[in-house]
Amino acid sequence: MDDHRFPLTGPKLHDDALAAHGGRPPFPLETNQPGIFAAGDVRSGSVKRVTSAIGEGATAARQAHQRLARS
């Protein structure tokens, strides 16, 4: 979480959180919990706009499918 209690995702994750991903880099919208994605207003660093949330939601769904394909 960041200072405002929004979940960090992807490259913003701290090194200790990356260990949970088993050595692979997290997807850009993936949280420190493998397979859990954050998009839109709940994500740290988002622009807090509806149109951005829609795009991030679609991207998170695609990334979830990619992650499931690797499992």
Percent of the chain residues past pLDDT 90, beyond the cut: 24
Answer whether residue 1 is part of any domain: no
Mean pLDDT of the chain: 85
Q: What is the pLDDT of residue 71?
A: 67
User: Is the distance from CB of 30 to CB of 36 less than 8 angstroms?
Assistant: yes
Answer whether residue 21 is part of any domain: yes
* pTM listed for this prediction: 0.71
Q: How many domains does the chain have?
A: 1
Residue 64 lies in domain: 10-70
User: Is the distance from CB of 67 to CB of 35 less than 8 angstroms?
Assistant: yes
Averaged pLDDT, 35-63: 86
Answer whether residue 2 is part of any domain: no
Answer whether residue 5 is part of any domain: no
